[in-house]
Amino acid sequence: MQKRYVLALDQGTTSSRAVIFDSLSGNIAGIKNLPLQQFYPRPGWVEHDADDIFRDQMSAINGAIKMAGINTESIACIGITNQRETVVVWDRNTGKPVHRAIVWQCRRSSEICDSLKTAGLRDKIKSKTGLVIDAYFSGTKIKWILDHVEGAREKAQRGELLAGTIDSWLIWNLTGGRKHITDYSNASRTMLYNINDLKWDDELLGELGIPACMLPEVVSSSGVCAYTHEKILGERIPISGIAGDQHASLFGQACFKRGDAKNTYGTGCFILMNTGKTPVVSKNNLITTIAWGIDSEVEYALEGSVFNAGAAIQWLKDELGIIKTAHESDIEAKKVPDTGGVYVVPAFTGLGAPYWDMYARGTILGLTRGTNKRHIIRATLESIAYQCRDVLEAMKLDSGIELNALKVDGGVSASNFLMQFQADVLNISVQRPVIRETTALGSAFLAGLGVGIWTSKEEIEQAWNLDKAYMPGENKKYYDSLYLRWKKAVEKSMKWDI
């Protein structure tokens, strides 16, 4: 059988997914998704079992292959995309993690971040990495593990421990321990990588006490960088695409021109704007990041991260129990004309861009005797749109670019209510593509580009197809007034947990 299929591994915060794309038709031939268990050992702490991640990812691969009705011999290449700042530290010799994976949402290293700020490193870290000092990023998580796992620091100094984001962990296991690598996009999320010099920064490693020998080799986001071990998938398949999930989504949405922007509505919301081959230093609390690196040439992006989007809907379902499915939130929200003045600020794990308040906490304001569950459901959905406007307002100031459209994807983009409200509150067109698995699609494009299945970005751009465009209403002043009250609600939630 012709090697026409591309296998994309999409390892996310709440699930491990495998998607098989038919490069001839552009369609999904097979897909398998498995839920990933979360662990919350203390308030504000979030963990995953790294062994579960690899085991589930392998099950997803087998399920997708079965659904596609193919075998591994017909897979041309593999692309990997992953939840980015989640980090694993494991033993080089045994391959066993020394601690559960610490998830990007986890706030346990907030005190380490505070000490870096007190030491006056805020500007230095921003200029070298493009990032703000926050527990969100991987570097302080690695330090926490070395500080708190007995004997870990000593083993690390002897070169016996490895550290990496989930892409590195998957590749290590897929190659039978032969390759410890990551790509430019994932490296740029660690707070340890110099995005100007394109190398791990010795000064920052020293500040955090992290031995350089723990860290992976940084490779291009597209191009053959490893092969699977024959014992793992039965074939020696090239791994030719790697990108953090939001970078892969930017690629999958064909945001190849300066000023192109997309928003992924997943567990969190992640808005990225392509800024081309020159990094734009944010003056409005956004992140400067590497979008991808191809043929040793990198492109940059501005990013704003909203920590709780789909997670807020999950909270309505799992913790409050006022909806049974995510889709039900759409139905219930439409049963009331507005929120009745209620605002939900879902700062369950702090606030991301542009506030960066690690100590903000979830808040519900404007409750009256007439408030019912539908108002709270609607206010929760609307909060997602407001948070995205917060980021885009900052993005316009930094880039000087006035957006006229926003490409959207992710599970929550299926909400017609939210997408229309997003268009209204932004006063721009919101565009949803036919294939919403853009994160997996982006990693497949990168992988296929790396082995010559697709020959150029222009060819990939022609494969992007619009499903639906949501156009803003005419009552801009009304939505602006709602947004002003949102800003007031956010102020009430900040610096709560100190």
Residue type, 498: I
246 marked among binding-site residues: yes
Cβ atoms of 54 and 92 within 8 Å: the answer is no
Q: Give the max Cα distance, the chain.
A: 66
Contact by Cβ (8 Å): 33, 287: no
Query: Under 8 Å CB-to-CB from 493, ≥6 apart: which residues?
Result: 345, 347, 351, 360, 361, 362, 363
The annotation status of 17 as a binding-site residue, yes or no, is yes
Contact (Cβ atoms closer than 8 angstroms) between residue 241 and residue 222:
yes
Q: Residues 6 or more apart from 378 whose CB is under 8 A from it?
A: 332, 333, 336, 338, 339, 342
350 to 18, 129, 189: CA distances (angstroms):
31, 22, 18
Q: 102 to each of 58, 182, 208, 313, how far by Cα in Å?
A: 21, 18, 17, 23
Query: Is 438 within any annotated ligand binding site?
Result: no
136 is in an annotated binding site: yes
The Cα 55–Cα 32 span in angstroms is: 13
Would you give the distance in Å from CA 259 to the centre of its chain? 20
Distances, alpha carbon 33 to alpha carbons 81, 306, 456, in Å: 14, 24, 30
Return the sign of the alpha-carbon dihedral for residues 132, 134, 139, 143: positive
Token pair, residue 418, equals 């939210």
Q: Is 386 annotated as a binding residue?
A: no
The answer on whether 245 is annotated among ligand-binding residues is yes
Q: Is 13 annotated as a binding residue?
A: yes
Residue 390 annotated as lining a ligand binding site: no
Peptide bond preceding 354 in cis form (omega within 30 of 0): yes
The rounded distance, in Å, linking the Cα atoms of 388 and 399 is 16
User: Do 39 and 64 form a contact (C-beta atoms < 8 A)?
Assistant: no
Sign, CA dihedral 388-393-394-398, equals: positive
Residue 483 assigned as binding residue: no
What's the gap between Cα 404 and its chain centre?
A: 24
Structure tokens given for 354: 């542009």
Residue type, 205: L
84 appears as a binding residue in the annotation: yes
Q: Where are the alpha helices (DSSP H) in 414-475?
A: 416-426, 438-451, 457-461
**Does the annotation flag 14 for ligand binding?**
yes
Which residues are documented as binding site? 13-15, 17, 84-85, 136, 245-246, 267, 310, 314, 411
Binding residues for glycerol, as ranges, are 84-85, 136, 245-246
Residues of the binding site for ADP: 13, 17, 267, 310, 411
Annotated binding site for ATP: 13-15, 267, 310, 314, 411
